[in-house]
């Protein structure tokens, strides 16, 4: 599956409508972003059940700002609508593949339970 261009207007639909979404925040002027783009694209071809999306931080400044993006490229992952990974810097190809494998195995019931526990502690 080719990567999608994600806009602020399509963000919620893409994240909530798919099991696993990997997002690359990038900009045209960014050298490391240009080097990471073919890696991101190659890995996307290996995982047809995962949605790979790109956000141009120059065009989608509000979306990038909502995540506090200060360094690009930054990779963010959502599983079942919940943000589960965020890391600035280009990931090596093997590391990106490994990350996707781990995210596919991630038990979201445990994640939700941890989030509920954290929320209840913050309220108390």
Domain residue ranges of the chain, discontinuous segments joined by +: 4-123
Give residue-wise pLDDT tens across range 52-79. 999 999 999 999 999 999 999 999 999 9
Tell me if residue 88 is catalytic.
no
Model confidence, pTM: 0.92
Band (118; pLDDT cuts 50, 70, 90): confident
Instruction: Look over the chain and give the mean of its residue pLDDT values, rounded to a whole number.
Output: 93
Q: Which of 30, 90, 100, 103 is catalytic?
A: 30
Q: How far apart are CA 66 and CA 50, in angstroms?
A: 23
Q: Residue 42: pLDDT above 60?
A: yes
Q: Which CATH superfamily is domain 4-123 in?
A: Glutaredoxin (3.40.30.10)
80 is catalytic: no
- Kindly name the residue from 15, 21, 33, 77 that is annotated as catalytic: 33
């Amino acid at each position: 599956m080719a990567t999608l261009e994600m806009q602020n207007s399509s963000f919620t639909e893409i994240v909530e409508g798919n099991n696993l979404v990997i997002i690359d925040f990038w900009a045209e002027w960014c050298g490391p972003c240009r080097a990471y783009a073919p890696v991101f694209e190659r890995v996307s071809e290996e995982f047809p059940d995962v949605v790979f999306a790109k956000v141009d931080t120059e065009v989608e400044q509000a979306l990038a700002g909502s995540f506090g993006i200060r360094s690009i490229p930054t990779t963010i992952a959502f599983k079942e609508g919940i943000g589960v990974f965020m890391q600035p810097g280009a990931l090596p190809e093997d590391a990106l593949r490994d990350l996707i494998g781990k995210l596919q195995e991630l038990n979201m019931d445990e994640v939700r339970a941890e989030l509920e526990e954290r929320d209840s502690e913050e309220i108390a």
